[in-house]
Amino acid sequence: MFKRDLFSICTFYAVSPIHAGSGASFAAVDLPIQRERHTHWPHIQASGVKGAMRAHYRDFAEDKSLINFLFGYDRDDVVHHNSYNSNREEKNRFEVKDNFPGAVAFSDAKLLAFPVRSNIAPFVWVTCPAVLKRLSNDLSFAGLQAIDGIPDIPREDALCLAGGISGSVILEDMVVNVANGDVPNPIPQNFPKMDKLLLVSDEAFKYAVDSCTEIQAQIKIDSETGTAQGGALRYQELLPADSVLYSVVYYSRAVFDNALQADTVRRYAEDVIKNFMQIGGDETLGRGICKIAWIAGGGV
């Protein structure tokens, strides 16, 4: 018997830097990335996740007739699929309706682990207790095993979750003291593998995500003078490559077709949206290429 609603978790491993922009700014960085209001951690808003997945589905699905039912009505995606509906009494009946919701819902893409340059490796990933507590809540919401026993970390200390790291470790401009020996990694194995992962304090993590993002200057060259065009120099913030994020994805039965059950909705979406996809801006500069993976959750 079909379950009414299902969950999955989609993980994002940044192959190239991501610019999910928040608009222009009057600060030193002209084009900052999106950040949560209460934590100031980088994230990608749910609308950006949904838009990127819709665009990927549009580009790669062999049968595009279901795109509006999966992601919500959009007049630009109305497909006259006579052959698909040739044996249905109410042929094209969905196309005359508008403003109906999609069968797939997305959360923001939340940051799980952030890469920071270090003296012991080109970089190590860092996460913190507050991030793991949030992950635990999301896993429980998605019908998966929650994380128990998340330790509190003093400001200048750290625990090694992967990589056999110990002693004093430099992370960008700060030093943390890593206890000897690895502790069990509470992040489920189906998440992207991170071979050098530290659990740092909430304060150290905040410093890293506030101060260690990538900043690049963008210019436009004046063809006559060969120098930067007036007003064209601007600074853009990027979430660095190797960042790890995840989004909770919710599948419900399609609004207008009871036969399109939640597990069928999930299969249609995840069979097309897989391997690699692009998210955020500056696609023509190679930004936002992510390796994605799906972790099946429970149902209600």
Q: What are the pLDDT digits (tens) for 197-223?
A: 999 999 999 999 999 999 998 887 766
Q: What's the total number of domains in the chain? A: 2
Which run of H or of E encompasses 7? strand 6-14
Q: Are 280 and 288 in contact (CB under 8 A)?
A: yes
- If asked whether residues 206 and 236 sit together in one domain, one would say no
What type of residue sits at position 50? K
Classify the C-alpha dihedral 184-185-190-194 as positive or negative. Answer: negative
- If asked whether residues 72 and 123 sit together in one domain, one would say no
Domain annotation covers residue 87: no
- If asked whether residues 99 and 242 sit together in one domain, one would say yes
Q: What are the pLDDT digits (tens) for 230-263?
A: 666 888 999 999 999 999 999 987 665 565 688 8
pLDDT of residue 97: 57
What type of residue sits at position 181? G
Cα separation of 125 and 166, whole Å?
14
Domain annotation covers residue 218: no
Range of the domain at 159: 118-211
Minimum mean pLDDT range among 125-134, 175-184, 256-265, 289-298: 256-265
> Hey, which bits of 97-173 come out as E strands?
104-106, 109-116, 124-127, 157-162, 167-171
- If asked whether residues 105 and 138 sit together in one domain, one would say no
Residue 228: exposure state from Cβ atoms within 10 A (0-12, 13-18, ≥19):
middle
Cα separation of 78 and 95, whole Å?
6
The model carries a pTM of 0.88
DSSP for residue 94: G
Predicted confidence (pLDDT) at residue 88 exceeds the cutoff of 80: no
Phi, psi of 134 (to 5 degrees): -65, -45
Q: Which 3-state string (H, E, C) describes 221-282?
A: ECCCCCCECCCCCEEEEEECCCCEEEEEEEECCCCCCCCCCHHHHHHHHHHHCCEEEECCCC
pLDDT of residue 82: 39
Domain annotation covers residue 216: no
- If asked whether residues 3 and 105 sit together in one domain, one would say yes
- If asked whether residues 142 and 99 sit together in one domain, one would say no
Q: Are 276 and 292 in contact (CB under 8 A)?
A: yes
Cα separation of 56 and 278, whole Å?
8
